[in-house]
Amino acid sequence: MKVLIFSPHPDDAELGMGGSIVKHKNIDDYVVIVYVTSGGFTDNTKEREQEVISAENILGANELKFLRWEDHNVKATEENREKIMDIIKEINPHIVYCPCPEEQHIDHKAVFEMVSKAVNVPLYLYEVYPGMSPVEEYEDITNTINKKMLALKEFKSQKCDLAEAYRHHAKFRGIMSGIEEY
Ligand SMILES: [Zn+2]
Protein backbone atom coordinates (compact mmCIF):
# COMPACT_ATOMS: atom_id res chain seq x y z
CA MET A 1 0.00 0.00 0.00
CA LYS A 2 1.20 3.53 -0.76
CA VAL A 3 0.88 6.04 2.07
CA LEU A 4 1.18 9.81 1.63
CA ILE A 5 1.73 12.03 4.66
CA PHE A 6 1.51 15.83 4.53
CA SER A 7 3.69 17.50 7.14
CA PRO A 8 3.30 21.31 7.27
CA HIS A 9 6.70 21.64 8.98
CA PRO A 10 9.70 19.36 9.39
CA ASP A 11 8.82 17.33 12.52
CA ASP A 12 4.97 17.31 12.38
CA ALA A 13 4.78 13.88 10.74
CA GLU A 14 7.34 12.48 13.19
CA LEU A 15 5.76 14.05 16.31
CA GLY A 16 2.21 13.24 15.29
CA MET A 17 2.61 9.80 13.79
CA GLY A 18 6.20 8.55 14.15
CA GLY A 19 4.98 5.29 15.70
CA SER A 20 2.48 4.81 12.87
CA ILE A 21 5.15 5.39 10.21
CA VAL A 22 7.12 2.47 11.68
CA LYS A 23 3.93 0.37 11.72
CA HIS A 24 3.36 1.09 8.04
CA LYS A 25 6.97 0.16 7.27
CA ASN A 26 6.65 -3.05 9.29
CA ILE A 27 3.96 -4.25 6.89
CA ASP A 28 5.99 -3.12 3.85
CA ASP A 29 3.90 -0.10 2.96
CA TYR A 30 5.56 2.55 0.80
CA VAL A 31 5.63 5.83 2.75
CA VAL A 32 6.07 9.25 1.14
CA ILE A 33 6.22 12.40 3.29
CA VAL A 34 5.67 15.85 1.82
CA TYR A 35 7.06 18.68 3.98
CA VAL A 36 5.17 21.80 2.91
CA THR A 37 7.55 24.29 4.56
CA SER A 38 11.01 23.67 5.92
CA GLY A 39 10.41 25.76 9.04
CA GLY A 40 12.68 28.75 8.77
CA PHE A 41 11.29 31.29 11.19
CA THR A 42 14.80 31.35 12.60
CA ASP A 43 16.51 30.85 9.26
CA ASN A 44 17.56 27.29 9.92
CA THR A 45 15.74 25.49 7.10
CA LYS A 46 18.76 23.39 6.08
CA GLU A 47 19.19 22.18 9.66
CA ARG A 48 15.46 21.35 9.95
CA GLU A 49 15.56 19.35 6.72
CA GLN A 50 18.65 17.50 7.88
CA GLU A 51 16.90 16.65 11.15
CA VAL A 52 13.95 15.00 9.41
CA ILE A 53 16.30 13.11 7.10
CA SER A 54 18.07 11.74 10.21
CA ALA A 55 14.76 11.02 11.97
CA GLU A 56 13.38 9.21 8.91
CA ASN A 57 16.55 7.11 8.66
CA ILE A 58 15.30 5.68 11.94
CA LEU A 59 11.54 5.56 11.18
CA GLY A 60 11.96 4.39 7.60
CA ALA A 61 9.88 6.57 5.23
CA ASN A 62 10.78 5.72 1.63
CA GLU A 63 10.64 9.21 0.12
CA LEU A 64 10.84 12.74 1.53
CA LYS A 65 9.74 15.70 -0.58
CA PHE A 66 10.44 19.30 0.45
CA LEU A 67 8.13 21.92 -1.13
CA ARG A 68 9.88 24.80 0.73
CA TRP A 69 6.84 27.07 0.88
CA GLU A 70 7.13 30.06 3.20
CA ASP A 71 6.87 29.18 6.89
CA HIS A 72 3.92 30.70 8.83
CA ASN A 73 2.47 31.85 5.52
CA VAL A 74 0.86 28.80 3.92
CA LYS A 75 -2.36 29.90 2.26
CA ALA A 76 -5.13 27.72 0.87
CA THR A 77 -5.35 29.60 -2.42
CA GLU A 78 -6.71 28.03 -5.58
CA GLU A 79 -3.21 27.97 -7.05
CA ASN A 80 -1.74 26.20 -4.03
CA ARG A 81 -4.62 23.73 -3.90
CA GLU A 82 -3.88 22.80 -7.51
CA LYS A 83 -0.24 22.23 -6.63
CA ILE A 84 -1.31 19.93 -3.78
CA MET A 85 -3.69 18.14 -6.12
CA ASP A 86 -0.87 17.59 -8.64
CA ILE A 87 1.33 16.09 -5.92
CA ILE A 88 -1.44 13.70 -4.86
CA LYS A 89 -2.00 12.69 -8.50
CA GLU A 90 1.71 12.15 -9.06
CA ILE A 91 2.18 10.02 -5.94
CA ASN A 92 -1.16 8.26 -6.38
CA PRO A 93 -1.51 7.01 -2.77
CA HIS A 94 -4.02 4.56 -1.30
CA ILE A 95 -4.38 6.63 1.86
CA VAL A 96 -3.40 10.15 2.92
CA TYR A 97 -2.63 11.68 6.32
CA CYS A 98 -2.54 15.34 7.37
CA PRO A 99 -2.87 17.26 10.67
CA CYS A 100 -6.25 17.93 12.32
CA PRO A 101 -7.93 21.25 11.40
CA GLU A 102 -8.54 22.07 15.07
CA GLU A 103 -4.84 22.75 15.59
CA GLN A 104 -4.28 26.45 15.84
CA HIS A 105 -1.23 26.83 13.62
CA ILE A 106 -2.29 28.65 10.43
CA ASP A 107 -0.07 26.47 8.25
CA HIS A 108 -1.70 23.30 9.66
CA LYS A 109 -5.17 24.67 8.98
CA ALA A 110 -4.29 25.68 5.43
CA VAL A 111 -2.72 22.29 4.66
CA PHE A 112 -5.83 20.53 5.96
CA GLU A 113 -8.09 22.77 3.90
CA MET A 114 -6.18 22.07 0.69
CA VAL A 115 -5.60 18.36 1.23
CA SER A 116 -9.16 17.59 2.36
CA LYS A 117 -10.53 19.19 -0.82
CA ALA A 118 -7.99 17.57 -3.13
CA VAL A 119 -8.03 14.00 -1.92
CA ASN A 120 -10.28 11.23 -3.20
CA VAL A 121 -8.89 8.35 -1.14
CA PRO A 122 -9.32 7.81 2.65
CA LEU A 123 -7.92 10.74 4.64
CA TYR A 124 -6.71 10.27 8.22
CA LEU A 125 -5.95 13.18 10.54
CA TYR A 126 -3.11 13.05 13.02
CA GLU A 127 -2.53 15.01 16.20
CA VAL A 128 0.55 17.22 16.50
CA TYR A 129 -0.47 19.67 19.22
CA PRO A 130 -1.71 17.51 22.07
CA GLY A 131 -5.17 18.10 23.39
CA MET A 132 -6.64 20.37 20.70
CA SER A 133 -8.45 17.79 18.64
CA PRO A 134 -11.18 15.31 19.45
CA VAL A 135 -9.94 11.71 19.19
CA GLU A 136 -12.00 9.36 17.05
CA GLU A 137 -9.50 6.55 16.71
CA TYR A 138 -6.48 5.43 18.73
CA GLU A 139 -3.42 3.88 17.17
CA ASP A 140 -1.59 1.37 19.37
CA ILE A 141 2.13 2.17 19.09
CA THR A 142 3.28 0.04 22.03
CA ASN A 143 5.70 -1.84 19.78
CA THR A 144 7.03 1.14 17.85
CA ILE A 145 7.23 3.96 20.40
CA ASN A 146 10.89 3.32 21.20
CA LYS A 147 11.88 3.97 17.59
CA LYS A 148 9.75 7.10 17.62
CA MET A 149 11.57 8.32 20.74
CA LEU A 150 14.95 7.71 19.09
CA ALA A 151 13.81 9.63 16.00
CA LEU A 152 12.54 12.60 18.03
CA LYS A 153 15.97 12.97 19.62
CA GLU A 154 17.20 14.08 16.18
CA PHE A 155 15.23 17.35 16.46
CA LYS A 156 18.02 19.14 18.27
CA SER A 157 17.12 22.60 16.93
CA GLN A 158 13.83 22.58 18.85
CA LYS A 159 15.71 23.21 22.11
CA CYS A 160 13.36 21.13 24.22
CA ASP A 161 13.06 17.45 24.99
CA LEU A 162 10.40 16.49 22.44
CA ALA A 163 10.93 12.78 22.99
CA GLU A 164 10.13 13.13 26.70
CA ALA A 165 7.10 15.35 26.03
CA TYR A 166 5.64 12.97 23.44
CA ARG A 167 6.31 9.89 25.56
CA HIS A 168 4.13 11.47 28.26
CA HIS A 169 1.55 12.37 25.65
CA ALA A 170 1.46 8.80 24.32
CA LYS A 171 1.05 7.54 27.86
CA PHE A 172 -1.82 9.97 28.44
CA ARG A 173 -3.55 8.91 25.23
CA GLY A 174 -2.91 5.28 26.11
CA ILE A 175 -4.67 5.69 29.44
CA MET A 176 -7.52 7.66 27.84
CA SER A 177 -8.00 4.93 25.23
CA GLY A 178 -8.82 2.56 28.06
CA ILE A 179 -6.98 -0.20 26.25
CA GLU A 180 -3.33 0.09 27.03
CA GLU A 181 -0.88 2.08 29.08
CA TYR A 182 2.07 2.88 26.88
ZN1 LIG B 1 3.78 22.19 12.32
- The CATH number given to whatever domain includes residue 61 is 3.40.50.10320
pLDDT value for 148:
97
Ligand 1 midpoint to CA 89 (Å): 24
Ligand 1 midpoint to CA 68 (Å): 13
SS3 state at 17: helix
Determine, yes or no, domain membership for 149.
yes
pLDDT value for 21:
98
What is the amino acid identity at position 117?
K
Ligand 1 midpoint to CA 39 (Å): 8
Give the whole-angstrom CA distance, residue 27 versus residue 89. Answer: 24
Rg of the chain (C-alpha set): 15
Question: Which residues neighbour 73 within 8 Å (Cβ) at sequence distance 6 or greater?
Answer: 107
Ligand 1 midpoint to CA 169 (Å): 17
Ligand 1 midpoint to CA 110 (Å): 11
Determine, yes or no, domain membership for 182.
no
Q: For 95, phi and psi rounded to 5 degrees? A: -140, 155
Ligand 1 midpoint to CA 25 (Å): 23
Ligand 1 midpoint to CA 47 (Å): 16
pLDDT value for 41:
67
Q: Which domain holds residue 131?
A: 2-177
**Number of domains, the chain:** 1
pLDDT by position in tens, the chain (length 182): 999 999 999 999 999 999 999 999 999 999 999 999 998 766 788 999 999 999 999 999 999 999 999 999 999 999 999 999 999 999 999 999 999 998 889 999 999 999 999 999 999 999 998 777 888 899 999 999 999 999 999 998 887 888 999 999 898 888 888 876 54
